Amino acid sequence: NPDVALHPEHLAYIIYTSGSTGKPKGAMNRHGALHNRLVWMREAFPIDSADAVLQKTPFSFDVSVWEFFWPLMYGARLVVANPGDHRDAGRLIGLIRRHNVTLLHFVPSMLRAFMADAEAATCNPLKFIICSGEALQPEMQQAVFERLPAVKLHNLYGPTEAAIDVTHWACRPELSSNIPIGQPISCTQTYILDNDLNPVPSGVAGELYLGGAGLARGYLNRPGLSAERFVADPLGQRGERLYRTGDLARWRRDGQIEYLGRLDHQVKIRGFRIELGEIEAQLLQQPEIREAVVGVHSAGQDARLVAHVALQSGATALDTAALNESLRKTLPDYMLPSLIMVLDHLPLNANGKIDRNRLPAPAFNSADSDAPPQGETEQLLAGIWQEVLGIDRVGRNDHFFKLGGHSLMILQVQQRLQSTHPVSLSLRLLFEHPVLKDMALAVHTELSKSTGKSGALNQMAELLNMLES
C-alpha cells in the first residue's frame, strides 16, 4: 500500500544488541534516522541501474538494513546471497562475478578471509568495498589496494543505536597504525568528551558521543537504560540528546576521529558486538557453575572468548560438551566461549571483585598429543590446523572447535587446502567432520574422486586421439 501515512518519528525497525545483565536490549530506530542514513549513502556512493549491491548480512546485524533497502530506493539491482554465503569467500567471489556486483560490505575479519582467496583479484566488477563492525587493520587496507587497485575502500563506524553508521572515512595509503573512522555523515554530530562532559583537545582520548538525526528513540521497554545511554546534550539546544557510545576515541590533527577501543567490557568478535556480562549471566544459569567470568584472548590476528569458571561445592568435573549444548539454547555461536577453564575459585582483588589480571592465561593445546596424526592427509591437515589455530601440536582425535576454532578459521583451512590441492572442497564437508582424523578421511575421499575424474578424462582424450589418427 503506497499510501501508508508515515511520520519520521515512526519506528522503522528494532534490532537487539547484547546486554550486560544477560538480557539483550532492543534499539528502536526511526524512519527519519534511517532515511537520513540512506540519503547520505547515495551522496557518498552514487548508484543507479547499472549497479548491483550484494545482500549477505544476517538481518540481526543492522548493516543488513541498508543492504536491503538502499539499492531498491535508487534503482540498483539487489543480489541476495544464500544463507551462509557470507562466511564462504569462494561463493561470494562466484556471486560477484556472476551477477556483476559493484558494491558490498565486509566486516574486516571476513575481508581478511576474502582477500586470502587467490580468486579475489578476479572480482573485476567491484567498485566499492565498505567495511564496518570492527577495527580495519592497515595490512588489510594495503591488501585491497594491491590486489583490487580499481576498488575504493571505505571505513564506516556506528552503533545500532544510531541508524547503522555515523562516521565515514575514504581509505587511502598512509603510514599509520590506526585507520581513522573519519568524520560524521550528514545531519550527525560527534563529540569526544571527558568524564565531566567537557570536550577534550585534539590528540586526547575521551568517550565518543553522538548526536543529530540518526539517534534511535531508545531501548524497547527499558526506560532506565534509555535514560542512562541517551543523555541531555550539554552543548546543544534544549531537548536535544546525545548517545553515549562507551567507545574511546580521539581527534587527529587533521580533524579525523580515531577509534581506540571500548571503555567497558563490551567487545567485538568477528564483527558482532558482545557484552561479556551476557555470556557470564548464561554461564551462571548452569546448575554446576558457582562463579564465572568471560574475557577475550587475542592470538595473532584472532580474538577468542575464554571463560573461567568455578564449580558448585561437591562438583568434581565439568562436562564441557554438555555445557556448550546447553549454552547454544540461549546464545548464538559467536558468543560461545572457545575455551572454558575450571578453577577452584576465581581470584578477587582488595574490593572483593574478580581480579581479571590474576586469571591464568588460556592454553589452546591438543588434548590428544599421545595420538599423533597418521598418514599424509592427517599430517597435512595437522600442519594447517597448527597455523590457523596458533598452537604447537594437534592429535588425530582433536576437535577443531574445541581447540578454539570458529567458522572464519575453518574457511582459512579450506583456502589453505585448496591452494595446495586442485580440488573443490565445500565448507559443509569440513564443518561436518571437525575431528582431525574424520576431516582427513573426508578430504582424502574428495581428493580421490578428483583424481579419478582426471584419470578418466585423460583416458578419454587418448581414445579420441587414437580414433582421429
Q: Over range 166-185, report the average pLDDT.
A: 89
455 vs 387: which has the higher pLDDT: 387
Please give the Cα distance from 265 to 134 (Å, whole number).
15
**309 vs 341: CA distance, rounded Å:** 6
Dump pLDDT digits (tens) for 45-69. Answer: 999 999 999 999 988 889 999 999 9
Q: What is the pLDDT of residue 226?
A: 96
Does pLDDT of 296 surpass 80?
yes
More confident residue, 390 or 305: 305
Q: How confident is the model at residue 349 (pLDDT cuts 50, 70, 90)?
A: low
Residues 6+ apart with CB under 8 A from 461: none
* Count of residues in the chain: 469
Give the confidence band of 467 by pLDDT, cuts at 50, 70, 90: very low
pLDDT at position 365: 67
Q: What is the pLDDT of residue 175?
A: 65
Confidence category of residue 13, pLDDT binned at 50, 70, 90: very high
Average pLDDT over residues 206-218: 96
pLDDT on residue 353: 65
Phi, psi of 154 (to 5 degrees): -130, 140
Whether the per-residue pLDDT at 469 is higher than 60: the answer is: no
Amino acid of residue 378: E
Q: Is the pLDDT of residue 450 over 50?
A: yes
Let me know: does 381 contact 357? Beta carbons within 8 Å: no
**SS3 call for 15:** strand
User: Stretch 308-320: mean pLDDT, rounded?
Assistant: 85
pLDDT at 85 over 80: yes
Q: Is the pLDDT of residue 270 over 80?
A: no
Give the residue-averaged pLDDT of 209-216: 96
Site of grid cell 588489510? 140
Over residues 433-462, the mean pLDDT reads 71
Mean pLDDT, range 383-399, rounded to an integer:
87
pLDDT above 70 coverage of the chain, percent: 90
Look at residue 366 in the predicted model and tell me its pLDDT: 67
Average pLDDT of the chain to the nearest whole number = 86
* Mean local confidence (pLDDT), 18-22: 65
Q: How confident is the model at residue 151 (pLDDT cuts 50, 70, 90)?
A: very high
Q: Could you tell me if 182 and 190 are in contact, meaning their C-beta atoms sit under 8 angstroms apart?
A: no
Give the separation between CA 310 and CA 291, rounded to whole angstroms: 5
Q: What is the pLDDT of residue 277?
A: 77
What pLDDT band is residue 460 in, cutting at 50, 70 and 90? Answer: very low
Give residue 458's pLDDT band: very low, low, confident or very high (50, 70, 90): very low
User: Three-state SS across 17-79?
Assistant: ECCCCCCCEEEEEEHHHHHHHHHHHHHHCCCCCCCEEEECCCCCCCHHHHHHHHHHHCCCEEE
- Quote the CA–CA distance of 412 and 415 in Å, as a whole number: 5
pTM of the model: 0.74
pLDDT value, residue 266: 67
Q: Which range in 144-158, 173-187, 270-284, 385-399 is most confidently predicted, on average pLDDT? A: 144-158
Q: Tell me: pLDDT of 457 over 50.
A: no
CB 215 within 8 A of CB 230: yes
- The larger pLDDT score, comparing residue 410 to residue 421, is at 410
What mean pLDDT do residues 302-315 have? 85
Q: Work out the pLDDT band at 334, boundaries 50, 70, 90.
A: confident
How many other C-beta atoms are found inside a 10 Å radius of the C-beta of residue 453? 11
Using the predicted structure, report yes or no on whether residue 168 has a pLDDT greater than 90: yes
Which grid cell is 304? 577468542
Can you tell me the mean pLDDT for 95-116?
A: 92
The amino acid occupying position 346 is L
Q: Is the pLDDT of residue 250 over 70?
A: yes
Highest mean pLDDT among 61-75, 76-90, 169-183, 342-356: 61-75
Structure confidence at residue 463 (pLDDT): 44
